[in-house]
Amino acid sequence: MDLPAKDVELLPENEKIQDEKERGPTFHCELYDTEMVRKIAQVFLPGLSSACVDNTTGDMFRSPGSVAVDIRKEMIDYLTQRSESFVAESVVLEGGPDAEVSDHPFDIISDMVDDFASLKRNLFGRVSGWLLSEKREDKIDDFVQEMEINGFWLLDRRETIAQILVKNVDFKNIFHCDKKFNTAEELAEHVRNCGFRTMNCTNEGCTTVFCASHLEKHDSTCPFKIIPCEQQCSENIMRREMDRHCITVCPMKIVNCPFYAVGCQSTVPHSVLQQHRSDNLRSHLLYTLKSIHKGASEEDLKKRVDQIVELSSGQLADARDVRSLTLKVKDLEAKPGPLEVIAAEKVSEESNKAGENSREDSIEAVKKGGEESTEVAKIGSEKSTEESTAVDKTGSEKSTENINKVGEEFSSIRI
């Protein structure tokens, strides 16, 4: 690449003697909005790159690198001149067709950079096919990178230019200080308190530099600031970690009720889920029963809720979700006892079949009803204990299957 290794003096000629020409107080505050100046300095390289690429495209004897030094100088002169006449021009244009144009220095200077780049297009560079091609975009990006790697136009040099341009176009004095003083002491005193003096963010990990007047603005968005959890849990979290905290570990994370799938539409903070479960046990139970005994009447199911709650002696509160509540319910429904006695009253002849399962035997027995039921319950409960021991050994899968099967049997009897 033919870029010079060392940067040359880039200040426009007339800037050096400008101060001497001015009358009145001679001690000027030179402070400016550092963030704005940096942002503007960052558009210079892409602007220069597109000017160099469009100027040499289709030319086998010249590369972007071979024209970069000259075009950079032209660019600085162009921007300086345009910025100097900007205020006068904008007064003329005020109220005209361009009245809507932004008066923000970044927009003004970016537009000037674009104007300059389009002026440097050669004949081939003006072909619309080329201007819209991805190849052009790639070449421009590549040349920006090449200049960065070679330190061709360092950021602090670009910032010096940007600072001058900002002062020229920022006629509302929003992005630079225009205060003047009669003595160096007065100036020094002012600089200590000037709203444009630079400050470093004090939040650990943050390297942002900003104007004193932007302290509050930065602090309210600084990604490294430690702030209380947005969901009002007791923790303090770094702002940039907040989203992740809120959707992962935060105890106040909003979750669907675990009985959402069967009908409870509540959303609650994770930390009060247990409370929600115990407060809504009966309604969760009703939802669960509805999914077990599809088609059963609401009235019957409500009665069943009462029976199950009575039988459960408090153990249902441990059921964390539909699956575990279903297992517990089916277990309770399968237990011989008051439930089955009530169930047996409604059993129709054809609904039951003898089977290999010991519980089916017990159902068969229950079907006969009357005095036998007490004995049956005894046998049933013994068998059930035996069986549950066996089931424990064979694992939960089989247990679920077994319970499901038994539960279904009972449901067909009961309902």
Instruction: Please state, as a whole number, how many other Cβ atoms lie within 10 Å of the Cβ of residue 333.
Output: 26
273 touches Zn ion (CB under 5 A): no
Q: Which value, in Å, is the radius of gyration of the alpha carbons in the chain? A: 40
Q: How far apart are CA 412 and CA 351, in angstroms?
A: 7
**Residue in the structure block whose two tokens are 């290999």:** 356
Interface with Zn ion, residue 29, by CB under 5 A: yes
End-to-end CA gap in the chain: 87
> Shortest distance, CB of residue 1 to Zn ion, whole angstroms?
37
Examine residue 233 and tell whether it contacts Zn ion (CB under 5 A). Answer: yes
State the minimum distance, in angstroms, from the CB of residue 276 to Zn ion: 6
By CB under 5 A, residue 194 contacts Zn ion:
yes
Residue type, 38: R
- What residues between 317 and 356 interact with Zn ion by CB under 5 A? none
Ramachandran bin of 347, using left for φ above 0, alpha for ψ from -120 to 50, beta for the remaining angles: beta
Question: By C-alpha distance, which of 15, 120, 138, 14 is closest to 70?
Answer: 120
Q: Does 206 bind Zn ion (CB under 5 A)?
A: yes
Q: Is 147 in the site for Zn ion (CB under 5 A)?
A: no
* Residue 407 CB partners (closer than 8 Å, separation 6+): 292, 329, 330, 333, 334
Q: Give the binding range for Zn ion (CB under 5 A) out of 46-54, 102-110, 152-160, 279-287.
A: 279-287
Q: Total residues at the site for Zn ion (CB under 5 A)?
A: 19
Q: Which of 40, 108, 144, 177 binds Zn ion (CB under 5 A)?
A: 177
Compute the least distance from the CB of residue 277 to Zn ion, in Å.
7
Residue labelled with tokens 């799938």: 261
Q: Which is nearer to Zn ion, 230 or 364 (CB)?
A: 230
Sign of CA pseudo-dihedral 182, 188, 194, 197: positive
Considering the complex, what minimum distance in angstroms separates the CB of residue 30 from Zn ion? 8
Q: Is 264 in the site for Zn ion (CB under 5 A)?
A: yes
* Residue 203 is a binding residue for Zn ion (CB under 5 A): yes
Q: Cβ 212 to Zn ion, closest distance in Å?
A: 10
- Token pair in block for residue 153: 């136009």
Contact between 404 and Zn ion by CB under 5 A: the answer reads: no
Contact residues: Zn ion, CB under 5 A: 29, 31, 177, 179, 194, 201, 203, 206, 208, 222, 229, 231, 233, 250, 257, 259, 264, 266, 280
